[in-house]
Amino acid sequence: MEDFISIEDIENAKDGILEYSFENLIKEINSEGPIKADLILKNLGEFVEVSGNVKGILNLECDLCLKEYKYNFEFSIDEIFAKRALMEDYGQETEIKEGQFVTDLNGADKIDIYDLLYQSVILNIPNKKVCGINCSRDNFQKEEDLTDPRMDVFKNIQIKGKE
């Protein structure tokens, strides 16, 4: 599934502002239902700004107990796309706010919203995935369950010259 927005459509929109709603599954992401995004695409001369809100429910695996749990997310997106190669000189200056990314379209005539949302959701998954504050230690595997019998061969290794 691909969702592209034409640069020309953004430029021709009233005041150079195009509203876009996305509500679909992103096949590479294990979600509970569709990912939803309400976006505003704004023509800024040599740049296009994409901003808005993204939300949904992901199926994640707890890093502590390894059980699957539902993770509700909602975050803002704010990204700048350069219409031409970034190395070229631009006639107008555009302020880049903290947290914004600049993506070089390298002359492409469309913005891939599907890929933008995929990357944004992946980047907003927490580094430490924990099912809840009450994740029970009873759910952990016991240490002896984690030993690999194939590693037993290394238990009796002796290094010459070391006592």
* Of the candidates 112, 110, 116, the residue with the CA atom closest to the CA atom of residue 8: 110
Q: Are 31 and 57 in contact (CB under 8 A)?
A: yes
- Pinpoint the alpha helices (H) of the chain: 7-12, 113-123, 143-146
* Of the candidates 38, 28, 12, the residue with the CA atom closest to the CA atom of residue 109: 12
Confidence of residue 91 (pLDDT cuts 50, 70, 90): very low
**What pLDDT digit, counting tens, does each position of 42-67 carry?**
999 888 999 999 999 999 999 888 89
**Higher model confidence: residue 134 or residue 51?**
51
Q: What pTM was computed for the model?
A: 0.72
Mean of per-residue pLDDT scores for the chain: 83
- Residue 41 CA to residue 39 CA, distance in Å, equals 6
